[in-house]
Amino acid sequence: MASRGLTRRALLRAAGAGGIVAAAPWLLNACSGGAQQAVTATATAAPRPTVRLAGGDYGRPTPFMFSRGPGHVNTSYVFDTLAWHDSRGVIPWLATSWAPEQGGRAWTFSLRPDVKWQDGQPFTADDVVFTFEYLAAHPTPWWASSLQVVAGAEKVTETSIRLRLKEPYAPLIPSIATSVFILPRHVWEPVSDPTKFDAPSATVGTGPYRLQQYNEAQGSYLFEANDSFFLGRPYVRRIEQVPAPNELLALQQGGIDAGGLGFNQAAPPGVLDSFKRDNRFKTISSPLEWTFALFFNMAKGGPLADVRFRQAVGYALNLDDLVARFLQGQGVVGNPGQVAPTSPWHNPRVPQYPFDTAKAQRLLDDAGYLDRDHDGVRETATGTPLRFPLILANSDPIRVAELLQSYLKAAGIQVTPQVMDGQARDSAAAQGRYDLALVGFGGLGGDPDGLRAKFDSHSKSKSFTRVHGYANPTFDSLAAQQLSTIDEAARKAIVDRMQVILAQDLPTIDLYYPTGYWIYRAAVLDAWYFAHGWYGSGTNGCFKQVFVTGQPVGTQIRGAS
């Protein structure tokens, strides 16, 4: 998706880009949070391209069956949220405006009056109230943590609802309003187990696209435009996701229209240059808010629960070498504070762990982990060797695990990579069935409440990114404080302190943040941009809005601040 520099140029050609256009130039003003004003869109003639992308099985696109970030993006084509986002921030969607009440203990949302479900039934405030009640009764890992703060939902008028909160909740808009899919009450009310509901009506939403085909074995999807969409006829007529193990090769051969390198890939030498020389393609790049991280299961006790051991691992890992050798320099080393450098919440003043094998060895010596039998592997005081299985998915790069293995061997720690199916790895990570794990995930530039969901010892999150066995009372207290601190400057100071604690304790280690490259056929669609600050960050974070409007900025729906 277009970098921020591309966004301005794209704005200049927005009026002639086809699709749905803005009614007045003042609509280009950026939102700043708080109340928003709605804008009615008018559809115009458009070329209506078909966009072909690489597939992959991320579950049936229902709010209870999708998996991971790409699955959320797929589901967003069919289902809508109260708010959405474009290259410049949050924009109205099913809700036309929103505002806090009672010092942030409640939020009122005004809803669009002109929306219908894809089966022709009218969308109402009752559907929104039902959604929050249903999710409370049927929690899912995706929203379980953020929805803990919701005390209830109530209908105010036929076109407005109020969310009542247990306490002020600073990240309500980015964590709930732009994330939670609204359900049709008439479809889901009779469903007792939503995780098994796969009837055709399970994919009836208000969204701009209808699911036409889903092939689990191939990981392929077909979405057709919903021409009755409330914002007008979508710009992109058809979205095809097809098997393409090598996206760049498929792009060169004409099998897909846009693709990237993936989060855990480096561009082969000369490949990017070859695309840049080919005038059929355009290329954009950006640092990604995604990481491949090393998780310690501190619930296992022993060395894994010893901060001195984890800090020694931090010094033993040569992350500069890892970025150079695996990513070929296309990325940066991870931040021990767990927030990506591109995020406005990033604290650059946290403890760092520059590569230093000798310092790692001293830390291990001081902690009593010695190689008493001189076999190259240290032991605890009771004689247990520092040998650990390291789980990773079969889609993950084994090369990274092998490099970690070599770095840690030099410090006297032995790890053995254990490759498993991706879903099995995610399940093991979610349930704490591991010693060490390699886990890839995004959202590192989003709202910092993600730190609470991941590291707070009281968190109810069941996500595969949940860290097991970590407990720091000071961190827990700060995590609770930031959650209810509406003033952004005060909240930033709290989040800064949280990052310092995480960098000191090292419950996980972000290994690197890769550079993202997105290559596309400009003749098909020329409005791509990189989305930042949202858990769907990267290229897929902008798919829905671009497909609907054909523009990087949703000028026809963006409100005035």
Digit-coded pLDDT (tens) for 232-283? 999 999 999 999 888 888 999 999 999 987 677 777 778 888 998 999 999 9
454, pLDDT greater than 80:
yes
pLDDT tens per residue, range 78-96: 999 999 888 777 889 999 9
Q: Is 75 exposed, middle or buried (0-12, 13-18, 19+ CB in 10 A)?
A: buried
Whether the Cβ atoms of residue 353 and residue 336 lie closer than 8 Å to each other: yes
Q: How confident is the model at residue 67 (pLDDT cuts 50, 70, 90)?
A: confident
Distance, CA of 554 to CA of 527 (rounded, Å): 11
Whether the Cβ atoms of residue 492 and residue 486 lie closer than 8 Å to each other: no
**Phi/psi class of residue 152: alpha, beta or left (left: φ > 0; alpha: ψ in -120 to 50)?**
left
Whether the Cβ atoms of residue 322 and residue 512 lie closer than 8 Å to each other: yes
Distance, CA of 207 to CA of 177 (rounded, Å): 15
Q: Tell me yes or no: is domain 290-514 CATH 2.30.42.10.
A: no
Q: Which of 239, 219, 248, 272 is nearest to 53 (CA)?
A: 239
- CATH code reported for the domain at 4-241+524-549: 3.40.190.10
Residue type, 163: L
Domain boundaries, the chain: 4-241+524-549, 290-514
559, pLDDT greater than 50:
no
Task: Say if strands 258-260 and 281-287 run parallel, antiparallel, or are unpaired.
Answer: unpaired
326, pLDDT greater than 80:
yes
| Six token digits for residue 402 | 């092998």
Lowest-pLDDT choice from 18-27, 58-67, 246-255, 334-343: 18-27
The pLDDT value recorded for residue 261 is 74
| Six token digits for residue 69 | 């970030």
Whether the Cβ atoms of residue 455 and residue 449 lie closer than 8 Å to each other: no
pTM above 0.85, yes or no: no
Query: What are the backbone dihedrals phi and psi of residue 467, each rounded to the nearest 5 degrees, phi first?
Result: -90, 135
19, pLDDT greater than 80:
no
Q: How confident is the model at residue 553 (pLDDT cuts 50, 70, 90)?
A: low
Q: How confident is the model at residue 226 (pLDDT cuts 50, 70, 90)?
A: very high
- H/E element holding 510? strand 508-521
Percent of residues, the chain, with pLDDT higher than 90: 64
520, pLDDT greater than 90:
yes
Residue tagged 């708080």 (tokens): 34
Q: Is 411 exposed, middle or buried (0-12, 13-18, 19+ CB in 10 A)?
A: buried
Q: How confident is the model at residue 70 (pLDDT cuts 50, 70, 90)?
A: confident
The pLDDT value recorded for residue 557 is 52
Q: Which of 298, 315, 260 is nearest to 282 (CA)?
A: 260
The pLDDT value recorded for residue 41 is 38
Which residues lie closer than 8 Å to 267 by C-beta, 6 or more apart? 261, 328, 330, 517
pLDDT tens per residue, range 112-162: 998 999 999 999 999 999 999 999 999 988 887 788 889 999 999 999 999
Cα 212 to Cα 60, 123, 192, 222, 230, distances in angstroms: 12, 22, 25, 5, 20
Q: How confident is the model at residue 12 (pLDDT cuts 50, 70, 90)?
A: very low
- H/E element holding 314? helix 307-316
